[in-house]
Structure 1
């Protein structure tokens, strides 16, 4: 009996040591610049949370930079373009500017800017993350988890929205479209910003502009209440955040746009809703392989521990040996 209890205690201790604790130990964000030009990364932490990387850094074309975040960290990242900073870090960016400084220091980026957002160790220990176009678009962007368990999809907006940005939403510099504003940023009305009387999913459905964003980038947030297919979860992962994941997008002359006109009346037609996924889980990805690999690894380690214990003690425990043979 004593040997059996000792074996069970050993198994319990090994199991506890093998539990995946990466979700409670923070995460590493690896920023990858696959664009053919320099991107200046902006970082904004959620209120009361430590700032990462001083709030921003330069990321040369073709380079990477890994940044560690503590457990429970939350915030957003974006790429700034067309920046010019002096030796003191003062300057300005054409898109995503955060007050004219290299290190944003907690200040968000000026729209339009494609956003990668994440909160580590949320409900049930899951990370919650997304790619958002709620503040508009300036660069192709993708977020890819690695080493985690769960659904663990890879949201992104890899399409160059500047190519077909409606003229009324265009941000233009030197005759080229360098960003595509959200309808909220362009018109600044409650109907498009989902505020005031329009501050609920029922009263603020998708519009023709957010529908166009969604059609081009199905896994990205297209407007404030686009939650169903745009929020992703993963547990214990690290994340790659890639700018221009499929290479440098082409520049688009403003005159090439086939969309013109002035501010149209708000579109109030309810958007078509995607069928809800089982248990409210995002429909993108299954995430089962990582969990299966982890379970098999732990089971194998436990079996080795039990076998080693029996061998070292030289005890014959018919019931325990039978259990081991059955598990094998």
Structure 2
């Protein structure tokens, strides 16, 4: 092989590597509401992580919303219920999961307990996503997290599909108009360090499951029930998209006043297949090779010019 031919081969190889080494740089979260009532998702990015394109919105029964999430993002997502805007002050507020913002957007504020939380750290140790559904801060509605199109890790669906409001011990209940709309954590209800895993109970050896966390674990075996419940409640996956579903199984524990007055029927599952099909396609696109934008055309032009010079 001539020297010119060798240089040309190296350049072409270099171009091929650039063209087909596209980096996966985002995930898609599809938030699906299968409740029979409106849910207002809230989203909080972790410290040092930029906020997503939205931090809160209304999601009607049977509807879904897809959100692009950058690589290495960490944060939490939850559902707010019984929300309304004050006709006098204009302030937006929710009976459960409220984030303290006067608007539908949460604007960097987290959920006021009790609230069911979906927690994520994407592209973490070993390039794996870490995710869980937590009841450590209490419970306000059923929720599940289902990875789609992932690889590596165990890629297991997790969550709490049980109606814990109907089962909530009386001393933990949050009641509105005579009905339980959320279930507090024992830490939030009693403030005792043994329930909060604080003070002298701030280690895995000293903070053990309580009668309340064991109750949660029986009902929702894959969800976090107390602070040191990592072994059975944290899951991992790589290069996945995620479906976050409110009310993954039939639940009628909470309804907005408007829903109750209008007699809204339970949400149909008809929107779910379309949402999941779209998500599968998105996951497939992420895993496929993608050229870095604006790089490949310029490299191709440079290679062509060098080849022309070598032929002179």
Class of the TM-score when normalised by the shorter of the 2 chains:
0.7 to 0.9
Q: What residue is the counterpart of 2:249 in the other structure? A: 246
TM-score when normalising by structure 1: 0.70
Return the offset for 1:246: 1.6
Distance 2:254 2:57 in 1: 24
Conserved 8 A contact 2:101-2:109: no
TM-score when normalising by structure 2: 0.73
Conserved 8 A contact 2:80-2:94: yes
**Structure 1 residues 76 and 208, CA, compared in 2 at 3 Å: closer, same or farther?**
same
Return the offset for 1:225: 0.4
In the alignment, structure 1 residue 129 sits paired with structure 2 residue 144: no
In the alignment, structure 1 residue 199 sits paired with structure 2 residue 202: yes
Conserved 8 A contact 1:143-1:156: yes
Q: What residue is the counterpart of 1:171 in the other structure? A: 174
Q: What residue is the counterpart of 2:218 in the other structure? A: 215
Deviation per CA, 1:212-245: give whole Å up to 9, x if none: 1011001100010000010011101111100001
Distance 1:13 1:209 in 2: 60
SS at match of 1:55: coil
Deviation per CA, 1:177-230: give whole Å up to 9, x if none: 101111111111211100111100110010010001011001100010000010
Unaligned runs of 5+ in 2: 256-283, 290-312
Distance 2:26 2:173 in 1: 38
Q: What residue is the counterpart of 1:116 in the other structure? A: 118
Q: What residue is the counterpart of 2:45 in the other structure? A: 45
In the alignment, structure 1 residue 227 sits paired with structure 2 residue 237: no
Return the offset for 1:15: 8.2
Distance 1:204 1:20 in 2: 46
241-250 or 43-52, which deviates more: 241-250
Return the offset for 1:250: 3.8
Conserved 8 A contact 2:32-2:246: yes
Deviation per CA, 1:27-58: give whole Å up to 9, x if none: 11111000111101111110121112442111
Distance 2:203 2:16 in 1: 49
Conserved 8 A contact 1:20-1:236: no
**Structure 1 residues 28 and 194, CA, compared in 2 at 3 Å: closer, same or farther?**
same
**Structure 1 residues 183 and 17, CA, compared in 2 at 3 Å: closer, same or farther?**
farther
Return the offset for 1:70: 1.2
The answer to which structure, 1 or 2, has the higher relative contact order (CA under 8 A, 6+ apart) is: 2
CA RMSD between the two structures: 2.8
**Structure 1 residues 89 and 130, CA, compared in 2 at 3 Å: closer, same or farther?**
farther
**Structure 1 residues 7 and 100, CA, compared in 2 at 3 Å: closer, same or farther?**
closer
SS at match of 1:41: strand
Distance 1:53 1:86 in 2: 25
Q: What residue is the counterpart of 2:93 in the other structure? A: 92
Q: What residue is the counterpart of 1:277 in the other structure? A: none
